[in-house]
Amino acid sequence: MQDRYVGDIGDYAKYSLLRALAHDRKLGVSWYLFPDEVSGDGGHVGYLLRPDKWCAPDPDTFNALRKLMGDILHEKQARSVAAIKRSGLLPDTTFWSHMVVHERPGGPALAEYRSEWFRNSLAPLESCDIVFADPDNGLCAREKFRPTQRRFGKSICEDEALTLARESTAHPNGRPVVVYHHNARPAGGHCAEVADWQRRLGKGTCAVRWRPVSPRTFFILNCTDKLRRRAEEWCEKWELPEGVYFQDYPDELTESG
């Protein structure tokens, strides 16, 4: 996550979904906060000028983001994850918002920093009933993850996702974890990509696929029956031509590539 993405249409999707899933649970948000880069990304805020299309699925979240971006436009506050925290969009939430990379060059020191950063995130999130992990790019397979390289600060290693979802005294069947993933361009298409990640993340991993503007997926590890119903109901509210839909865990397990 980068501060410059706040209020983007991806924020609308993620905060609307989180509010639907966690409205009666203690939520934890682990922003994989990465320094702002210079590019055109984060500019998809035109949806806020189209309430005729975008407001109906979730008026409360839409209007809260519209007000927030209005305050930012009029320089009442900066575009930042701190503004989201202050907005009250996600009440009763614990936020982990330390930079996932340090300012020095990459190498072993960066890998050590990343390891310590993740370990330090676990204690404040321990009491949360559901955790949202929000990296820029999404999931990265453990065999491809290179913490010595700065650009991997924009990804969550699958092992980190699995650690967040591990069993505990409070969650003997594993804690529900929602992981943001920006879909790549795999040879088999996005449906196959999502199914492959579901298998890697373990049985019970459901997926909410959001296709407007740019395709992204929210994986829900340890998805309970109640969360599944909430996710399905949330998807049904988005009557958009681009498609927003729920993808349950694949029936047949196969080896992941």
Helix axes 9-21, 225-237, angle to 10 degrees: 140
In a domain, 257, yes or no: no
In a domain, 29, yes or no: yes
In a domain, 219, yes or no: yes
In a domain, 154, yes or no: yes
Q: State pTM to two decimals.
A: 0.89
Instruction: Kindly give the parts of the chain with pLDDT less than 50.
Output: 42, 252-257
Range of the domain at 54: 3-247
Alpha carbon of 200 to those of 113, 168, 190: distances in Å? 26, 21, 15
Number of domains forming the structure of the chain: 1
Q: What contacts 24+ positions apart, CB below 8 Å, involve 207-210? A: 207/246, 207/247, 207/248, 208/17, 208/234, 208/235, 208/244, 208/245, 208/246, 208/247, 209/243, 209/244, 209/245, 209/246, 209/247, 210/13, 210/238, 210/244
What lies within 8 Å, CB to CB, of 104 at 6+ separation is 110
In a domain, 253, yes or no: no
Q: CATH no. for residue 189?
A: 3.40.50
Give residue 77's pLDDT. 65
In a domain, 223, yes or no: yes
What lies within 8 Å, CB to CB, of 20 at 6+ separation is 58, 230, 231, 233, 234
Helical residues (DSSP H) of the chain, grouped into ranges: 9-21, 51-54, 59-73, 81-87, 108-125, 158-164, 190-201, 225-237
In a domain, 108, yes or no: yes
Give residue 255's pLDDT. 40
Is 54 exposed, middle or buried (CB count within 10 Å of its CB: 0-12, 13-18, 19+)? buried
Give residue 45's pLDDT. 82
In a domain, 252, yes or no: no
Give φ, ψ of 190 to 5 degrees: -70, -35
